[in-house]
Structure 1
């Protein structure tokens, strides 16, 4: 705790199908996090197969007037826990902090981001940070960020993560107050008297020469360097791995695993943004993505082992703390990626979460695995895959 703000993280166990028990467990987690204090914001992350209406009801009933916002997840670590929690509540409060939240179900993703950002205006504080919790499966996060940016302008950092959920059915859920929305957007503006800190890093490294995206509609890349994208990509993997990676010689599961292990790095002017290869078409010879890879982009094939990825998580958290301009953090909210979850071992998951504890020097830390990560500090872009994004408070 500092004089102007405090953060407290609490977790609860819940059982799918037990609505009353889930509501009660969530309420207890809220009460433990608040500890009798008036909170400005309760950020709730809950396992998607629970009764999320019960989660929202339990949180709202115990909120004591705080804004309640949240998202569905599959894997969330709280504090020093060695295993994921079912429901995690992060409470924020103090005289130097206030929060406003809104939701949108607009069909157009740009309008969704703009609507939420505009609705969250109004707090008169020196600094603001906008947290976005969008649907994680629709491939529209960059448009959502651009919409929010159109209202917020360059001076407001944007951070967040796409909701994890039923990835087979492409469904995820967002919470606002006592309401549960499906495949929508919830945004929260945290207004403060001194800045919050944002960091982003992945720990992966470039392999080989760069490639130019010569045919793309954004989410489907048809050509790299003027040739079928899948052919070029698999040739690069064959050279890297020393094995035949032609599509005809690979089992579908192996090809999917290679796409996770070797994403593309999209070169931006100030940074590099990772793009996970989420699908391939052996007939059209294309690569598919859930975050856009624009026509004309320069990209690299990426690689990295567990040690490098865990180090990248630590770097993101350290960046976030450094952005506090010398103030000690009182807590941290971290978004990692579901693709990283698949690549890391169980001990790697815990080490990634512990990197935030080390950087923040507090147990009031939460790490949730998301479908796409958001960190916009400069420029209008800011969508990432296989990246750790940290918000230091």
Structure 2
């Protein structure tokens, strides 16, 4: 298994793909899988056409990223395209994208995407070593449940929700045949390299908590029977000494999200985070992930310094998860767009930390509106303000 990455900021999508292919081809020809992450300013139709014609034997996966991308070469801001290519003649890969049909439930369509990806890999009926998942916003928990129901076991997943530059619906997904702004993308991996993974928040619980007593979809309406936004505002003021600006909730809540305990390792709890986005008209809080009624919700806290350093720490954790401590030959990471926007001036440091932890192996990282991964305790989850990482290791199966 061999991995290469490349990026381009050229305004013309055809030329951008040409520049990328020239660099990839210096490492190897005819990749088996191409992962492409790009900003909303790209001409997605041209991008898909150029990638499929340039890499005719590859499974192609495309997902939009917020305001830039990151690779082992560093952070690229603005109009950009970044690609990770895998050459693995003894391995197999399959991808699929569906544009959602409103007349069919999402769970059923998600299972069909998975089956199509498995068919495209030539390994139907087998359990993949890894699944990469990308959806458009709002579908994540249903899709994760559908994958678990279809396979019967938890398979390592790394995923990120398609993003745009300003939460305005300009996100997209594509594969070799389909482009959509309302859909599901999956890729199954049967690689000849071993994988390790990690999924972390890096935030700490403050000790403040309440039970979600009323929820409507992704809007948290009440905590302990009181309007959720008022409870959150009280918690925020007690922690910071400041009055939160409800018109800037998304930005101001980045260091103080809500969390639900997902499990614990060595008596240390770990959490899945939810990012408060908007105060609803009835003083509820609209989120980027779903909190269930009856769940205990914790106020979490983090620091800007933690958001800069933790990407490298998550990669370190994934390395430690590999029992033989083999040197990675490459990897995929997912970094929350909300965190990215908060530390934007330090993203070159984030990229450098990741590259150091990756032993300077090639990696790719989009900035997403939700993150999916597998905790070391085995749980598969969708959260916000998280980072997910998967590493490929040089010892072959």
Q: So what's the TM-score if we normalise by structure 2?
A: 0.88
Give 2:320's aligned residue. 322
Paired with 1:325 and 1:260, the residues of 2 have a C-alpha distance of 34
Give the gaps of 5 or more residues in structure 1.
Answer: 16-20
State yes or no: 1:114 paired with 2:111: yes
Q: Which moved more, 1:289-298 or 1:268-277?
A: 268-277
Aligned counterpart, 2:198: 199
Give me the whole-angstrom Cα distance separating, in 2, the residues matched to 1:200 and 1:311: 15
Partner Cα distance (2:284, 2:21) in 1: 47
Q: Provide the rounded CA distance (Å) in 1 between the counterparts of 2:107 and 2:135.
A: 12
Partner of 1:18: none
The secondary structure found in structure 1 opposite 2:329 is coil
SS at match of 2:169: coil
Q: How does 1:361-380 map to 2 (within 5 A)?
A: 361-376=359-374
**Residue 134 of structure 2 aligns with which residue?**
133
Deviation at 1:167, TM superposition (A): 4.1
- More deviation in 121-130 or 267-276? 121-130
Q: CA deviation at 1:379?
A: 5.9
How many angstroms apart in 1 are the aligned matches of 2:189 and 2:256? 35
State the alpha-carbon separation in 2 of the partners of residues 308 and 169 from structure 1.
28
What TM-score do you get using the length of structure 1 for normalisation?
Answer: 0.89
Paired residues of 2:198 and 2:374 also in contact (CA < 8 A):
no
CA contact (8 A) 2:128 2:188 kept: no
Moved more, 171-180 or 285-294: 171-180
Alignment match, 1:100: 94
1:148 to 2:153 alignment: no
Other-structure match for 1:227: 226
Q: Secondary structure at the match of 1:53?
A: helix
Q: Give the superposition deviation at 1:152.
A: 2.4
Aligned length: 375
Note closer, same or farther for the CA distance 1:60–1:152 as it changes in structure 2 (3 Å cut).
Answer: same
Alignment of 1:275-354 (within 5 A): 275-281=274-280, 283-326=281-324, 327-347=326-346, 349-354=347-352
Which deviations, in whole Å up to 9, do the C-alpha atoms of 1:87-124 show, x marking residues without a partner?
A: 11100112342210111223333223211112222428
Secondary structure of residue in 2 paired with 1:185: strand
- The aligned counterpart of 2:34 is 42
Tell me, what secondary structure is at the counterpart of 1:361? coil
CA distance in 2, matches of 1:42, 1:239: 48
- Per the alignment, residue 211 of structure 1 pairs with 210
Q: State the distance in 2 between where 1:65 and 1:260 align.
A: 42
Q: For residues 311-357 of structure 1, give each alpha carbon's deviation from its aligned partner in whole angstroms, at most 9, with x where no partner exists.
A: 3222221122233442321111111111101211412x222222221
- Which deviates the most, 261-270 or 184-193? 261-270
Distance 2:195 2:60 in 1: 20
The residue number in structure 2 matching 1:56 is: 48
8 Å contact 1:220–1:289 — kept in the other structure?
A: yes
- Is the alpha carbon distance of 1:294 and 1:65 closer, same or farther for their aligned partners in structure 2, counting shifts above 3 Å? same
2:6 corresponding residue in structure 1: 10
- CA RMSD after TM alignment: 2.2
Change (3 A) 1:112 1:171: farther
Q: Are positions 1:266 and 2:272 aligned together? A: no
Find the counterpart in structure 1 of residue 181 from structure 2: 182
- Would the alpha carbon gap of residues 182 and 127 (structure 1) be closer, same or farther in structure 2, given more than 3 Å must change? closer
Q: Offset of 1:23 from its aligned partner? A: 1.2
CA 1:356 to 1:256, structure 2 compared with 1: closer, same or farther past 3 Å?
A: closer
Quote the Cα distance in structure 1 between the aligned partners of 2:94 and 2:172.
19
Q: How far apart in 1 are the matches of 2:284 and 2:246?
A: 17
SS at match of 2:242: coil
Give secondary structure in 1 for the equivalent of 2:328.
coil
Q: Structure 1 pair 374/7, CA: closer, same or farther in 2 (3 Å)?
A: same
In structure 1, the residue matched to 2:267 is: none
Does the aligned pair in 1 maintain the 2:88–2:191 contact within 8 Å? no
Matched, 1:252 2:241: no
SS in 1 for 2:18: helix
Shift of 1:185: 1.3
How far did 1:275 drift? 0.3
Task: Summarize deviations over 1:253-293 as a string: whole Å, max 9, x none.
Answer: 3x443233311011123431010001112x41211112101
Structure 2: gaps spanning 5 or more residues? 265-269, 393-397
